[in-house]
Structure 1
């Protein structure tokens, strides 16, 4: 039986429906990320789980108990916000202890639990500091410890890293994941950053206009996107127009080439479809494997250290592809005519 179940969840603000029939079953100890652009409904779903928003329809069940009508303080949920939300007049110790004090825990138990939490986030030496004396990353660690101190059954994180600089964001997301795995706590993480979601999640929910377009592992979401939106939102994508030659044989015409995509096609002979290519799928190397050879002129080439990111003008669409740096070979020059080899298996056929 799933630990956290969302069934036919809906939310409207006046005549505007922002969450449409959302369904998901989350296992105990699972790390789930809600990924999507601003306004897609991901934070609204999180706030309904927390009890800050009342669903227009549907139910929320945690560990077999219906939470839908319960107040936030009755749900035993830990919440970490984007803006830290620490009490400025309290030091680190008192901020972490706040929930325990509200629950009426004995002083000795509070002291022991706070020390345990501060050790977990490696800030036990800053127990006497106030929020204004700390960096953003340190404040967010304290907010995490405060959320975890009362031993919640579910941890919710609402874009907790978006206010931090890039380097701190990477290290803190790894720390959050490590702590989550160490404690085995069921966690829902909201983000608009695809790299964050791909790097730390057990499963990702890609949300679009109030609906879950796709739910799957990071590997599935990236390599087998279910819709055009998921494919374009997660990762870089090049779109190529093609014409179906024979649907039963999965053959299409790409430019002047007829190739088999070796996968079912959504349309019949003579109809237009869209195929897509990830940047890592193409290769300029001699002898590279590939059923498809695409000729074009280099529109741009950017040396990024380990990777060279190139755009290729093929007389219509501009294709993006990445190649690893080879010290013995110079990057392709702008204006140079090259042949990009692509394996048909690596091309995706996009649904609308």
Structure 2
């Protein structure tokens, strides 16, 4: 039985249906990311789980208990917000102890738990400081410790890293994941940043217009998106139009060359056109022995990104991005040059509506 279950959740504000028939089962200790653009409903789902919003329809259970009608302070939820929301007139230690104090925990227990939490987040020596004396990353770590101190059954994170600079954001997201795994706490993380979601999640829920477009592991979401929205929102995508040659076998034609798609049989007739896509790393420079097709592309731009070089090129009538690893002994192609590109049908993504 799942630890956290959301069943047919709906949320309506006036005439606006923000969340539509949303269902999700989360296992104990699982890290789930709700990923999507602004206004897609991800934060509203999180707020319904927290008890800050009441569902217009549907239900929520935690550890077998129906919490749909319970107030937020009766759900044993830990919450970490985008804004640090620390009490400015309290020390770091007092901020972390706040939830325990509200629960009536004895002082000795509070002090021991605060020391444990500050050690966990690597700020054991800063308990006596005030929030204004900390960096943004340190403040957010204190907010995490405060959320975890009362031993919640579920941890909810509402875009907690978006106010931080890039380097601190990467470091803190890795620390959040490490702590979550160490404690084994069931976690839901809301973000609009695909890299964040891909790097730390067990599963990702890609939301679009109040609906869960796809739920799956990061590998599945990236490599086998089920809808055009997911394919375009997660990662960079090159799109092509191909002509169906043999629907039964998945055989199609691109720029006069045959490819076999992995989605056979195709839901189309011979001669019809389908939209397909390739990730930049699936377009491979040079003549490779396992390629099904070999096309010529004209390089229009070159971006050196350290370990990866991203080429922009014209290929089969489409403007494409192509990623290749940097090799110190092999300079990248120059703008205006022509290069051979190897393609394999197994790498193509068939785009649905």
Structure 2-normalised TM-score? 0.98
CA deviation after TM superposition for structure 1 residue 304, in Å: 1.2
In structure 2, C-alpha distance between the alignment counterparts of 1:262 and 1:148, rounded to whole Å? 45
How far the C-alpha of 1:287 sits from its partner, in A, is: 3.4
| Aligned residues of 1:237 and 1:276 also touching (Cα < 8 A) | yes
User: How far is 1:314 from its partner?
Assistant: 2.2
1:17-41 deviation line (CA, Å, top 9, x unaligned): 0101001110000000000011100
Pair 94,291 (structure 1): closer, same or farther in 2 beyond 3 Å? same
Instruction: Give the aligned partner of residue 52 of structure 1.
Output: 52
Shift of 1:244: 1.2
Q: CA RMSD in A?
A: 1.0
Matched, 1:201 2:201: yes
User: Separation in 1 of the partners of 2:156 and 2:241?
Assistant: 41
Q: Secondary structure at 1:204's aligned position in 2?
A: strand
- Alignment-derived partner of residue 16 in structure 2: 16
User: What is the rounded CA distance, in whole Å, between the counterparts of 1:23 and 1:245 in structure 2?
Assistant: 39
Tell me the CA shift for residue 172 of structure 1.
Answer: 0.4
Cα distance between partner residues in 2 of 1:257 and 1:343? 11
Return the alpha-carbon distance in structure 2 between the equivalents of residues 193 and 262 of structure 1: 29
- Asked whether the 8 Å contact 1:298–1:334 carries over to 2, the reply is yes
Once the two structures are TM-superposed, the CA of residue 259 in structure 1 deviates from its matched residue by 2.4
2:301 paired residue number: 300
Question: Helix, strand or coil for the counterpart of 2:330?
Answer: coil
Asked whether the 8 Å contact 2:287–2:294 carries over to 1, the reply is no
CA gap 1:347/1:302 in 2 versus in 1, 3 angstroms:
same
* Cα distance in structure 2, aligned partners of 1:108 and 1:120: 18
Secondary structure, counterpart of 2:47 in structure 1: helix
> Counterparts of 1:277 and 1:263 in 2: how far apart (Å)?
14
Show the counterpart of 1:71.
71
* 1: CA distance, partners of 2:307 / 2:148: 39
In the TM superposition, what is the alpha-carbon distance from 1:290 to its structure 2 partner?
Answer: 1.1
For residue 325 of structure 2, what is the aligned residue in structure 1? 324
Match of 2:5 in 1: 5
Q: Are the equivalent residues in 1 in contact too, given 2:8–2:22 (CA < 8 A)? A: yes
Q: What is the correspondence of 1:248-287 to structure 2 with a 5 Å cutoff?
A: 248-264=248-264, 265-287=266-288
What is the 5 A alignment of 1:1-352?
A: 1-264=1-264, 265-287=266-288, 289-314=290-315, 316-352=317-353
* SS of residue in 2 equivalent to 1:125: coil
Q: How many residues align?
A: 352
Shift of 1:315: 5.4
The C-alpha deviation readout for 1:15-72, integer Å capped at 9, x for no partner, is 1101010011100000000000111000000000000011000000000110100000
Quick check: 1:266–1:351 contact (8 Å CA) kept in 2? no
The 10-residue stretch of structure 1 (15-24 or 306-315) with the greater mean CA deviation from structure 2: 306-315
| Secondary structure in 2 matching 1:171 | helix
**Cα offset, 1:249, TM superposition:** 2.2
Q: Give the distance between the partners of 2:171 and 2:262, measured in 1 at CA.
A: 41
Spell out, residue by residue over 1:206-252, the C-alpha distance to the aligned partner (whole angstroms, 9 max, x if none): 00110001100111111111111111111111001112122112111
Q: Secondary structure at the match of 2:284?
A: coil
Taking the aligned partners of 1:222 and 1:86, their CA distance within structure 2 comes to 36
* Alpha-carbon displacement from aligned partner over 1:52-104 (angstroms, at most 9, x marks no partner): 01100000000011010000001010000001100011110110011111111
